[in-house]
Structure 1
Amino acid sequence: MGIILLTKKKRNFKQAALYTGTILAGLLYMSCSKKFSESQTFFNLPVDKTMHDLLAGYDTDGDKKITKDDAPQKDYYMVSTKGDTVIIRNTYYLSNLLQELAIAHEEQHDSLRISLSRIQEPPAERISRRIRTHFWDDLTRTIDEEGLNRITEDEKMHDSHQRIYVPYHDSTGIEYFLELQKRRRNLEVVILPPVISAEYVRSINTRPGILSLKIENGKGVPFVVPGGRFNEMYGWDSYFEGKGLIIDGRLELAKAMVDNFCYQVKYYGKILNANRSYYLTRTQPPFLSSFIREVYEATPARERSNEWLAHSLSMAIKEYKEVWMDCKRYTPETGLNRYYAGGLGIPPETEPGHFRSILQEYADKYNLSVLTFEERYKSGEIKDAELDRYFVHDRTLRESGHDTTWRLDNVAADLNCVDLNSLLYKYEKDFEYLIDTYFKGDYTAENGESYTTAYWHEKAATRRMKMKQYLWDAEKQCFFDYNIKTEKLTDFMSATNFFPLWAGLCTEDEAESLVSIMMTELKAQGGILASSKASTIKYATNDVQRQWDYPNGWAPHQMLLWKGLLDYGYESEAREMIYRWLWTITQNAVDYNGTIPEKYDVVNSTHKVYAEYGNVGTEFAYITKSGFGWMNASYQYGLSLLPEDYVHKLDNLEKPEEVFGRQ
């Protein structure tokens, strides 16, 4: 399908060239008329009527989108302001038109003046522009009077209250929200106890609420949410979103997110899984040192604040020591780390019935109905050590960010994971670098403790040695997670096994082996797989498709491993994997009305993912307003790394096999 251009004087279909294979072919003119100028062609369209006509003629499945799944039965004619008649027969162009009309409708315009060039906007350019000019703004939130409604009135609150929990020691936040409570009858402000226990967190599970973030100058410090039902500030999502923000010139927003992370460390004792009350005992993969470093070094030298860096570094060191080293997340028998989430009982954020099959086994054991058993277990009336341990593993799996994967199923808390230890190695190297570069090799944290460059150099070297000792499989020449209970390496092939490339802890020989394995085991048509097919089949105990496993691919894995490949000099491999991922995003956006979701099936290069939690970001009418946070970032990051000729190939939707050959 393409677009045919006709003059209103003569409609000569024989002389109108048709779509010839690329998305942009089809801007044509009649030999009998003057040359058609795309840049000077505009249309004045009545918004509501045009939207109605488009949907009536082209949205044949009634989902309020124009996609490749629709089966339009007629051409769509438009007359330009100069009198030229245009016929649009291309799903991508029609969906672009619908999206632009939806924006005008949202802004309450009766008519839309639109150029043909906007309708025909090259897809990579359009996706990137929408991310830069629309998506980040739509995903931005604040926890204050202005921003409270957008978060507290979502489906996760469960009642009519706007409930906000404020840390015991945050006098600024307490004063602000108590004053606000006087003006808002349905606002319930709860001041958290000075020590937050697992028992306390369980006691408030029936009264869910938002956890406050930083208030500065009478306003909430802004942050970006992932999108869809994820309407709060998440841990590792925020780092990847921050990379996209920096690329798009939104440095102040990225810096604000670092400030909110530092607030969380100071007042909640950790970077939270997300700022909801039921996440008080759970963190996520650590990226604060990288976030600080990248924000600071993206800041023009004349605008850098040594005071900001000193405070942020102090909070990152506090997180490193208290969250990861001086608690159960450190395993002294190996000198390495594990994820280990606190809390009691069933993770309250899960959907009703999510654990029904597990709970049924224990309900039978106690001769109770499953619903009765669940309620009595949730309240603490029934205690079962075996089931408790299962939920320690489950909460820990969620803390890892990989919820869920067969790699961590019922074993997460027993693993020294490759990804986590790579991230903590990066912390140690970042601390070494920042102290050496900006504090002349000697730094005193806010608690009075002093640190030298040499101190962190030694920490990193020790961790690298321990990782080689416990996590490196000499026979397979690859890193794997280590089970501290069985004292054996696992053999699960996951994208996380290759995080050492990103952290920079590999030797050249190790990197060569890792790259070869990754490109063999995890390369798919649409990007890097979250796990290999063989490992997923081997460890699956039922037919539930875990979303962090084959055949799916995720933005954070792509972004980390692209950088790892580039840092070790594997430019051609990096270029290929970047292209494959961006092509998947671009092709799906072109075919499905601009859809940019949470994840993809990268084997089939589709957003139609059949996993346990579906795919956030695919349910919208007319136009996606926000895409999905780290997916947006991966697009901008990938484009920033891709040579211009490959961006042109993206615009033409050249398939990976056409660019790189068959796998």
Structure 2
Amino acid sequence: MDLKKGIITALLSVFTGVIFAQTPDFALEVQPNMQRLLLSADTDNDKKITIEDSPKMPFLAATIAGDSIAINEVYYLSNLLQELAQAREKGEDTLKISLSEIKEPPSQRISRRIKNYFWDDLTRTIDKKGLKKILRDTKASGDVQRLYVPPNDTVGLEYFKNLEREYPDFEVVVLPQKITPDYVKSINDEPGLLALKIENGKGVPFVVPGGRFNEMYGWDSYFEGVGLIIDGRVDLAKAMVDNFIYQINHYGKILNANRSYYLTRTQPPFMSSFVREVFEASEEKDTVWLRKALDAAITEYEQVWMEEGERLTENGLNRYFAQGIGIPPETEKGHFEAVLKEYAAKHGLPAAEFEEKYKSEEIEDKDLDEYFRHDRSVRESGHDTSWRLENRAAHLNTVDLNSLLYKYEKDFLYLISEYFGGSFTHSSGKGYSDAYWAEKAEKRKDLMNRYLWDEEKGSFFDYDFQKGEQTGYISATNFYPLWAKMASEEQVQRMVPNLLQDLKARGGILASAKSSAEKTATNEVQRQWDYPYGWAPHQMLLWEGLLNYGYEKEAHELIYRWLWMITKNAADYNGTIPEKYDVVNTTHKVYAEYGNVGTEFDYITTSGFGWMNASYQLGLELLPEEYREKLDKVVRPEALF
């Protein structure tokens, strides 16, 4: 008997309800085989097949011509479960599959699922088609689901008012012309989504991170866009830029996310990079669209980041500075319990009573106001939370923010020079030349070298302008100048050894150094943007940063470490692609604040996590073929470097 057919025959003969043919492709009845597989292999009853199960081995054994054939790999059993589950979700009674699909190499399987399934599952629209997902939104209060719409969006207002008549549990709220912190506080008990762009009677689509993050986030969107472009979804990446343009024009900023309580808060600025990468990946090279997008990006730069006294400080550098009043409403119950108890004791009140009186402004406390100013600014930074920023975020000229704004200035210089003949007239009537942006970038570089660079330590550090000193906190964000191409060759020669010494872990780049987190922490709470955790945006930016300066070997090692960790966890744990990892212990089992989105699912993950998906696709694109082959064998990184 032909060996390949023999294996298939043996495999199929032990399933119940097999619809059998002597070909490499075969069909299985979904429900009975899924039940039998779970009964045999899911020994801990968590609706997954993982290395923590103890399947009966050999599994599905059969005897053909005296030879025993069996499946002994948990990974293959897990793949089969996923394929059966996916068929069941589609309402299919029969699964058509081949042995090669069950034994698909891990990196190929992960990448294929991201491209063919995950992006679509994470795509949303705020329109009639997407309304069902809005109405099921768990972040709404009560029975009414609200959508806040800008008063000058006439198209959106007409569209959503018509939907309001159709759905009794859906309420459209028209925002005031001017959004103030007082107004945002007044609607904290009536939260809702914020409208995005309606075009041709449909909502312009966007990608959400996943899990409880069921809205369009600021910096997540850029990284998701990187992955979309790699996967040939330039259309969807461009649509996300269009929604950013809408946000800038109607809300005055790119929002932390399109939620009512984020109206006074932005996120790390990536608009110029997003615009540039989408435009240059587009076949049509639509300069009319580019003009509109560039106009919005310059508006954001000027109005959000360069207003003196807010996010622009006296020394000419920038900070995160989220506005707002009182306690951030999006946090989980009890998140600020320890802080509020401390201030309640100061006022001689029980904690619950103090909290209510502080919320109603019956009690005023400037120190607590300042604490929450910093806390909101931490959230605006995207790094919520980290001991790097704790109780001082609004006082810091951070390396990451100023690197990103340097990148804006260089992108504006490039786009105006390359596509607009060196001169661009903004919708405000102000003219901008490429020379103007060259001067702005050079000035920022000088200021960063003056305030943020430590010559003795060979690194950039955040600068506390209140104290007039650098923090010395070792973080992945200190190396953003590599990505922005702001550092000199001499600085990079000092920085790269520091990066590899302080932040390289078994699974990639640490969010911060253990020594800095331990030195700065005021209690034993592990902050999720610190040691021992690693995050996709840091990996992606620093890989490209190293490659910008010719450090290919170092970049490839860090890419491999990250992809190895993702691949091994996915292979061992039923395809899990989570929000973040413990890169020291190379596991998705993270016990820091907020848990780990993307780890709770039954049978099969349908979406992974937005920027994690993107990091995998980018890593595979940047990694040489020789490493990709090793990745499919899940060769541990210590054996390679």
The runs of 5 or more residues in structure 2 that have no matched partner are: 12-21
Q: One-letter code of the match for 1:183?
A: E
Mapped partners of 2:600, 2:237: distance in 1? 27
For the 8 Å contact 2:150–2:176, the answer to whether it is kept is yes
Q: Does 1:257 align with 2:257?
A: no
Secondary structure of the structure 2 residue equivalent to 1:622: coil
2:349 aligned residue (354, 368, 371): 368
Match of 1:210 among 179, 193, 201: 193
Deviations 1:95-117 (A, max 9, x none): 00000001000011111121000
Partner of 1:162: 145
Whether the 8 Å contact between 2:305 and 2:312 is mirrored in structure 1 is no
Residues 257-296 of structure 1 mapped to structure 2, 5 A cutoff: 257-296=240-279
What is the CA distance between 1:474 and its match in structure 2? 1.3
Quote the residue 1:492 is aligned against.
473
Residue 517 of structure 2, aligned match among 536, 539, 545? 536
1:548 aligns with 2:533: no
1:512 matched to 2:504? The reply is no
Distance 1:368 1:43, change over 3 A: same
Q: Which residue of 2 aligns with 1:144?
A: 127
Checking the alignment, whether the CA contact within 8 Å between 1:57 and 1:74 is kept in structure 2 is no
Q: CA deviation at 1:6?
A: 9.6
Deviation at 1:9, TM superposition (A): 13
Is the 2:135–2:170 Cα contact (8 Å) retained in structure 1? no
Equivalent residue for 1:455?
Answer: 436
Query: Partner of 1:475 in structure 2?
Result: 456
Task: Map Cα deviations across residues 595-631 of structure 1 (whole Å, 9 max, x no partner).
Answer: 0000000001100111011111000000000000000
Q: Which one-letter code corresponds to 1:132 in the other structure?
A: K
Question: What is the CA–CA distance in structure 1 between the aligned matches of 2:313 and 2:475, rounded to whole Å?
Answer: 25
Shift of 1:148: 1.8
- Shift of residue 78 of structure 1? 7.4
Name the structure 2 match of 1:120. 103
Answer whether contact 1:225 1:234 (CA < 8 A) is retained: yes
- The amino acid that maps onto 2:216 is M
- Aligned partners of 1:304, 1:104: CA distance in 2, in Å? 40
CA apart distance, 1:304: 1.7
Q: 2:280 aligns with which of 279, 297, 318?
A: 297
Q: In the TM superposition, what whole-angstrom CA distance separates every residue of 1:51-80 from its partner, at most 9, and x where no partner exists? A: 111111111111100000111234332789
Q: CA contact under 8 A between 2:319 and 2:395: conserved in structure 1?
A: yes
Q: CA deviation at 1:10?
A: 12
Alpha carbons of structure 1 residues 6 and 435: separation in structure 2 relative to 1, 3 Å: closer
CA contact under 8 A between 1:152 and 1:210: conserved in structure 2?
A: no
Using the alignment, how far apart are the partners of 2:5 and 2:61 within structure 1? 10
The answer (yes or no) to whether the contact 2:5–2:24 under 8 Å persists in 1 is: no
Corresponding residue for 2:420?
A: 439
Picking from 36, 45, 58, the partner of 2:41 is 58
Give the aligned residue type for 2:581: Y
2: CA distance, partners of 1:341 / 1:104:
46
Q: What are the residue-to-residue correspondences of 1:225-240 with 2, within 5 Å?
A: 225-240=208-223
Q: How many residues align?
A: 629
1:566 maps onto 2:547 in alignment: yes
1:526, distance to aligned residue in structure 2 (A): 0.3
Q: Retained in 1: the 8 A contact 2:399–2:462?
A: yes
Distance in 2 between residues matched to 1:363 and 1:99, nearest whole Å? 51
Secondary structure of the structure 1 residue equivalent to 2:358:
helix
Going from structure 1 to structure 2, the CA distance change for 1:8 and 1:224 (only over 3 Å counts) comes to: closer
CA contact (8 A) 1:43 1:79 kept: no
Residue 366 of structure 1 deviates from its aligned partner by 2.1
Contact 1:255 1:295 (8 Å CA) reproduced: yes
Normalising by structure 1, report the TM-score: 0.92
Instruction: Output the CA distance in 1 between the equivalents of 2:59 and 2:633.
Output: 23
Match of 1:521 among 486, 502, 505: 502
Alignment partners' CA distance in 1, 2:51 and 2:352:
44
Residues 1:313 and 1:398: Cα distance change in structure 2 (over 3 Å): same
Answer whether contact 1:152 1:209 (CA < 8 A) is retained. no
Change (3 A) 1:79 1:118: farther
**3-state secondary structure, aligned to 1:454:** helix
3-state DSSP of counterpart to 2:640: helix
Write out per-residue CA displacement over residues 169-218 of structure 1, whole angstroms, 9 at most, x where no aligned residue.
11111111111111111110000000011011011010010000000001
1:626 aligns with 2:607: yes
CA RMSD of aligned residues (A): 2.0
Q: Is the 8 A contact 1:5 1:85 kept in 2?
A: no
Match of 1:590 among 571, 577, 593: 571
- Residue equivalent to 2:136: 153
Q: Say whether 1:134 aligns with 2:93.
A: no
Instruction: Summarize deviations over 1:548-584 as a string: whole Å, max 9, x none.
Output: 0000000000000000000100000000000000001
Task: Determine if the alignment matches structure 1 residue 318 to structure 2 residue 318.
Answer: no
- Cα separation, partners in 2 of 1:448 and 1:67, compared to 1, 3 Å: same
SS at match of 1:118: helix
**2:634 aligns to what SS in structure 1?**
coil
In the alignment, the residues of structure 2 paired with residue 230 and residue 9 of structure 1 have an alpha-carbon distance, to the nearest angstrom, of: 42
SS in 2 for 1:425: helix
- 1:15 corresponding residue in structure 2: none
Aligned residue for 1:446, secondary structure, equals coil
Match of 1:34 in 2: none
One-letter code aligned to 2:370 = R
| 1:175 alignment partner AA | E
- Three-state SS of the structure 2 residue aligned to 1:43 is strand
- The aligned amino acid for 1:147 is G
Does the CA-based 8 Å contact 2:111-2:616 persist in structure 1? yes
C-alpha separation in 2, matches of 1:653 and 1:40 = 30
In structure 2, relative to structure 1, the CA distance for the partners of 1:284 and 1:152 (3 Å cut) is: farther
On the 8 A contact 2:313/2:319 being kept in 1, the answer is no
Secondary structure of the 1:164 match is strand
Note the C-alpha offset of 1:44.
2.0
- SS of the residue 1:531 aligns to: coil
Shift of 1:161: 1.3
Residue from 587, 602, 622 that aligns with 2:583? 602
Give CA-to-partner distance per residue, 1:511-547, whole Å, 9 cap, x none: 1111110011000000000000110111111111100
After superposing the two structures, state which structure 1 stretch, 425-434 or 159-168, moved more.
159-168
Q: Which residue of 2 aligns with 1:413?
A: 394
Residue of structure 1 equivalent to 2:227: 244
Query: Partner letter of residue 613 of structure 1?
Result: Y
SS in 1 for 2:522: coil
Whether contact under 8 Å (2:409, 2:437) holds in the other structure is yes
Q: Distance in 2 between matches of 1:282 and 1:238?
A: 16
Separation in structure 1 between the aligned mates of residue 8 and residue 40 of structure 2, nearest angstrom: 26
Rounded Cα–Cα distance in structure 1 between residues aligned with 2:549 and 2:340:
47
Q: Distance in 2 between matches of 1:501 and 1:209?
A: 39
Q: What displacement does 1:334 show?
A: 1.3
Return the alpha-carbon distance in structure 2 between the equivalents of residues 328 and 179 of structure 1: 42
Overall identity of the aligned pairs, in %: 63
Matched AA of 1:171:
T
**Residue 174 (structure 2) pairs with residue 176 (structure 1):** no
User: Could you tell me which of 23, 48, 72 is aligned with 2:55?
Assistant: 72
Asked if the contact 2:308/2:314 (under 8 Å) is kept, the reply is: no
CA distance in 1, matches of 2:309, 2:29: 63
The question of 1:647 aligning with 2:628 is answered: yes
Cα distance in 2 for partners of 1:446, 1:79 equals 73
Letter matched to residue 277 of structure 2: E
Match of 1:198 in 2: 181
The CA distance in 2 between the partners of 1:238 and 1:10, in whole Å, is: 47
Q: 1:78 to 1:235 in 2, by over 3 A?
A: farther
